[in-house]
């Protein structure tokens, strides 16, 4: 299918099968009466220089490079190469789109080469699991007990199952986030659980549970009862601060239906509602993301009299306690989604934000640096029945991170 590339053929496991006994060689090219000697570049360059050159390739091209010859395969498989790769500027984030409501199958979009790859995700069992990503690692949490968690690198397929988090199982709402330290490669996973107090719709038990990969232990950092507010399923960690959305349980005006609260992972915090930050305007839904340690929210802007109907989508960045509007989706792109419900999928990292309607495989990309909107290359799948849903998540394709 046009635009689709099999990811399996680029995996390290398959490289050794393809390399065989190939070695670099020179050949004579006869151009009429002129004879020219072509010298292979890898015969001239020393290993360390070749490693640095290959490290600047996009991830998909690195896998292909490993199939060129035995020497290149050994280079891109070495620990020293991974160290060189880790010092290269971050790769543009990919977007994985689920194409089934029942099976965790789909395609990953590479914005550099503008290609889709058919890849298999490890650990995850259904597309409705909770998903969070940071620096090449992705965390999955089941949608039933909210207790089964896995951290994996979707490119290398390295995966680790975490111990069950503390707190009650089967909470009414949960929010998952992960933050990876680029220097130490340690990571932190947070789960915010929210459960209604029996017989009282206005009061909700909220707890925050933190996993430290260095100690391999969970800790319950906070337990609190919220009145008039409940937790939800949106959270993110930025620069050591956990941000998550809370939702009004007492009616209220449309602009006060959502709120943002913060919790410092490094020390004690005051009661959550003291950190309350109003969201920018009456949002139908809000998606939180970490872009270069800045908190960004992508939200559907509801009509003043009908907040459940989206009239547009905006992007804001939090500066202190104030929101700075970065962009609004142009109407021609908004119309390009066709029917857009009051909720949609959106995630981002580095400088890219992906936005997707649940009802179609169309994918829109916004570049924060260039302030540029662009449609992604068409996904190699089409909608087969009216109720078919599409969703996805973005992740940074890295080779050097492992859980």
Using one digit for the tens of pLDDT, what is the confidence trace for 130-160? 999 999 999 999 999 999 999 999 988 899 9
Q: Are residues 210 and 297 in the same domain?
A: yes
Are 375 and 77 a contacting pair, CB within 8 Å? no
- Here the tokens at position 11 are 């995996």
Note down the domain range covering 63.
Answer: 47-86
Phi, psi of 386 (to 5 degrees): -55, -35
| DSSP 8-state assignment for residue 77 | T
Is there a contact between 82 and 74 (Cβ–Cβ < 8 Å)? no
Q: Report yes or no: 195 and 146 within 8 Å, Cβ to Cβ.
A: no
User: What percent of the chain lies above the pLDDT cut of 70?
Assistant: 82
Q: Are residues 102 and 227 in the same domain?
A: yes
Mean pLDDT for 283-303 is 89
- The mean per-residue pLDDT over the stretch 222-246 comes to 94
Q: 105 or 389: whose pLDDT is higher?
A: 105
pLDDT at residue 311, as a whole number: 81
Which CATH number is 250's domain given?
Answer: 2.120.10.80
141: nearest Cα among 130, 151, 152? 130
Lookup: tokens for 28: 């004579």
Measure the CA–CA gap between 321 and 265, rounded to whole angstroms: 18
Higher pLDDT, 296 or 31: 296
Residue 25 located in a structural domain: no
| pLDDT of residue 19 exceeding 70 | no
Checking if the pLDDT of 330 tops 50, the result is: yes
Both tokens assigned to 111:
């914005």
Could you tell me if 69 and 170 lie in one domain? no
Q: Are residues 335 and 212 in the same domain?
A: yes
Average pLDDT over residues 225-243: 94
Residue 9 domain flag: no
Give the CB-side neighbour count of residue 198, counting CA atoms within 13 A: 0
Q: Are both 209 and 66 inside the same structural domain? A: no
CA distance 395 to 250: 36
In a domain, 22, yes or no: no
pLDDT range class, residue 25, cuts 50, 70, 90 = very low
Domain membership of residue 285 (yes or no) is: yes
Beta-carbon-side half-sphere exposure of residue 374 (alpha carbons within 13 Å): 11
122 domain residue, yes or no: yes
Instruction: Give me the pLDDT at residue 307, please.
Output: 61
80 and 224 assigned to the same domain: no
């000697």: which residue's tokens? 37
Domain co-membership, 70 together with 169 = no
Total domains, the chain: 2
Sign for the CA dihedral angle at 8, 11, 13, 18 comes to positive
Residues 72 and 172 in one domain: no
98 and 77 in one domain?
no
Q: Is there a single domain that holds both residue 103 and residue 145? A: yes
DSSP 49: H
Share of the chain above pLDDT 90, in %: 47
Mean pLDDT of the chain: 82
pLDDT band at 78 (very low <50, low <70, confident <90, very high): confident
**DSSP code of residue 164:** P
């Amino acid at each position: 299918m046009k635009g689709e590339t099999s990811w399996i053929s680029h995996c390290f496991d398959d490289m050794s099968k393809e390399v065989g006994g190939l070695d670099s060689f020179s050949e004579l090219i006869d151009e009429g009466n002129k004879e020219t000697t072509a010298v292979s570049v890898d015969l001239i360059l020393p290993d360390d220089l070749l490693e640095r050159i290959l490290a600047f390739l996009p991830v998909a091209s690195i896998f292909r490079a490993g199939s060129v010859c035995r020497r290149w395969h050994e280079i891109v498989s070495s620990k020293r190469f991974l160290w060189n790769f880790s010092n290269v500027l971050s790769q543009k984030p990919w977007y994985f789109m689920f194409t089934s409501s029942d099976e965790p199958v789909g395609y990953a979009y590479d914005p550099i080469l503008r290609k889709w790859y058919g890849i298999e995700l490890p650990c995850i069992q259904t597309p409705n699991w909770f998903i969070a990503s940071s620096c090449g690692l992705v965390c999955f949490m089941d949608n039933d007990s909210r207790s089964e968690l896995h951290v994996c690198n979707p490119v290398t397929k390295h995966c680790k199952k975490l111990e069950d988090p503390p707190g009650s199982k089967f909470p009414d709402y949960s929010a998952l986030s992960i933050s990876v330290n680029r220097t130490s490669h340690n990571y932190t996973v947070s789960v915010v659980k929210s459960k209604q107090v029996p017989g009282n719709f206005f009061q909700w038990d909220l707890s925050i549970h933190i996993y430290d990969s260095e100690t391999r232990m969970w800790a319950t950092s906070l337990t609190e009862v919220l009145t008039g507010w409940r937790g939800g399923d949106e959270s993110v960690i930025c620069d050591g601060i956990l941000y998550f959305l809370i939702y009004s349980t007492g009616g209220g005006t449309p602009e006060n239906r959502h709120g943002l609260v913060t919790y410092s992972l490094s020390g004690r915090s005051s009661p959550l509602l003291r950190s309350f930050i109003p969201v920018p305007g009456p949002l139908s839904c809000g998606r939180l993301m970490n872009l270069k340690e800045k908190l960004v929210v992508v939200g559907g802007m509801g009509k003043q009299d009908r907040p459940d109907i989206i009239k547009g989508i905006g992007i804001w960045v939090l500066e202190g306690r104030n929101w700075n509007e970065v962009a609004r989706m142009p109407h021609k792109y908004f119309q390009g989604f066709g029917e857009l419900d009051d909720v949609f999928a959106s995630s981002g990292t580095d400088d890219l934000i992906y936005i997707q309607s649940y009802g179609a495989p169309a994918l829109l990309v916004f570049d924060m640096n260039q302030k540029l909107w662009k449609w992604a290359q068409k996904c190699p799948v089409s909608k087969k029945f009216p109720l078919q849903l599409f969703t996805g998540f973005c992740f940074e394709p890295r080779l050097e991170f492992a859980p």
